[in-house]
Amino acid sequence: MEEKITYRKIIHIDMDAFYASVEQLDNPSLRGKPVAVGGGEERGVVSAASYEARKFGVRSAMSGIIAKRNCPELIFVKPRFERYKEISQKIRAIFNEYTDLVEPLSLDEAYLDVTENKKGNPSASLIAKEIRQRIKDELYLNASAGISNSKFVAKIASDINKPNGQKTIPPEDVIAFLEELPIEKFYGIGKVTAAKMFSLGIFKGSDLKFKTEEYLIEHFKNAGSHYYQLVRGNFHSSVKPNRERKSVAAEHTFVTNLTSEVFMLEKLVKISEELERRLIKSKVAGKTITLKIKYSDFSTQTRSKTLPYFVKDKGILLETVKELLYQEKVLNSVRLLGISVTNLNIHSKKQPEKPINVQLKFEF
């Protein structure tokens, strides 16, 4: 009898420079030119950049001033989130023709579990190619895809042949792929963690795999055990079509840096009012309130407090962030303040995952 093993066929679809591409689609005069969405104001920040702009080092989350310095010909356009949401819904409709197991990460990317799909197509790679072609034909936009047996590897793979490409990492190649993968390419390992790993002699997956679980826990606490399992291909996260919202937030970047807590408190009044509106619209409340402070040197500090009850009232939000603000002296002049609410009153009944048995060697 032929051996069987439990696999999943996961696709990660990632739209290419989505916001900027939509702007170029709707305004032909922008096509082929370096475009940045957002960042046009004096203290603006780039939300997205076209590939023409990326050639000059323009990236999302970059200061508009720095972006313009890198690319003097850069064209700034104001974001139109309703338009992006409209197109995102059309993309989602295409996904749903193939599977109901769609987990959106944002307006421009999602995971699809196509192990059992509506088209009866055994090849996840061919499904990804077909979906990308439909997005191109119907919406005139490019998408890239990664295909593998886990969300983790599929997401990494989707970035390999960008833009307008795809990469399949079949199950039998996953371990070798992870061993050769530069540690900074591991999804979830940011710059700070990567720098720490470099200092410990961990530069790629094989170096990480060489370390014991105890060693990784010692240096990375609970995340160490996660890294230990990850590099060995032990993936447990399934595609969740009904992702729970984990936070609601509001923030504001200021034209002039704030140097006094009194001025900051004035701004926090308006931010708390906006956050209350968003909580009411989302029909949620939360227990944990976090104050975010971004300083003029772009360093960020957060201060949090968890209450014994769920809140969404602007008065309670303001009183809590006021306490957090005066908890300790600010370190520098402040360019951004934000308030977020987590630990939300959202409850879901987790359904047991249905095991899927497929042939060990199958078309991927």
Q: In the listed set 81, 110, 130, which residue is the last one of a domain according to the structure?
A: 81
Q: Give per-residue pLDDT as tens, 295-310.
A: 988 888 999 999 999 9
The domain spanning residue 324 has which CATH number? 3.30.1490.100
- Distance CA(45)–CA(28), nearest Å, equals 24
Burial class (CB in 10 A: 0-12, 13-18, 19+), 181: middle
Residues 338 and 253 in one domain: yes
- What's the domain count of the chain? 3
The per-residue b/e assignment along 306-332, b for 16 or more CB within 10 angstroms, e otherwise, is eeeeebbebebbbebbbebbeeeebee
Residues 202 and 269 in one domain: no
Q: What is the pLDDT of residue 357?
A: 42
Q: What is the pLDDT of residue 17?
A: 95
Q: What is the pLDDT of residue 355?
A: 41
Q: What is the pLDDT of residue 87?
A: 96
Domain assignment present for 305 = yes
Residues 199 and 182 in one domain: yes
The domain spanning residue 234 has which CATH number? 1.10.150.20
Q: Is 176 left (phi over 0), alpha (psi -120 to 50) or beta?
A: alpha
The domain spanning residue 36 has which CATH number? 3.40.1170.60
Query: What size, in residues, is the chain?
Result: 364
Residues 217 and 286 in one domain: no
Give yes or no for residue 360 having a pLDDT over 50.
no
| This prediction's pTM | 0.75
Q: Is 61 left (phi over 0), alpha (psi -120 to 50) or beta?
A: left
Of residues 109 and 255, more confidence is placed in 109
Give yes or no for residue 350 having a pLDDT over 50.
no
Q: What is the pLDDT of residue 255?
A: 81
Domain assignment present for 60 = yes
Domain assignment present for 63 = yes
Residues 232 and 215 in one domain: yes
- Distance CA(273)–CA(271), nearest Å, equals 5
Residue 201: both structure tokens together:
């002699």
On whether the CB atoms of residues 50 and 35 are closer than 8 A, the answer is: yes
Q: In the listed set 40, 64, 81, which residue is the last one of a domain according to the structure?
A: 81
Q: In the listed set 40, 66, 81, which residue is the last one of a domain according to the structure?
A: 81
Q: If we measure between CA atoms, which residue out of 343, 354, 359 comes closest to residue 286?
A: 343
Domain assignment present for 158 = no
- Residues acting as catalytic residues: 109
Domain assignment present for 295 = yes
Which domain range does residue 47 map to? Answer: 18-81
For the chain, give the mean pLDDT: 89
Q: How sure is the predictor about 268, in pLDDT bands with cuts at 50, 70 and 90?
A: very high
Domain assignment present for 99 = no
231 CB neighbour count, 10 Å cutoff: 24
* CA distances, 23 to each of 18, 44, 88, 332 (Å): 9, 18, 14, 37
Residues 263 and 322 in one domain: yes
Cα dihedral value 309, 312, 318, 324, nearest 10: 50
Domain assignment present for 197 = yes
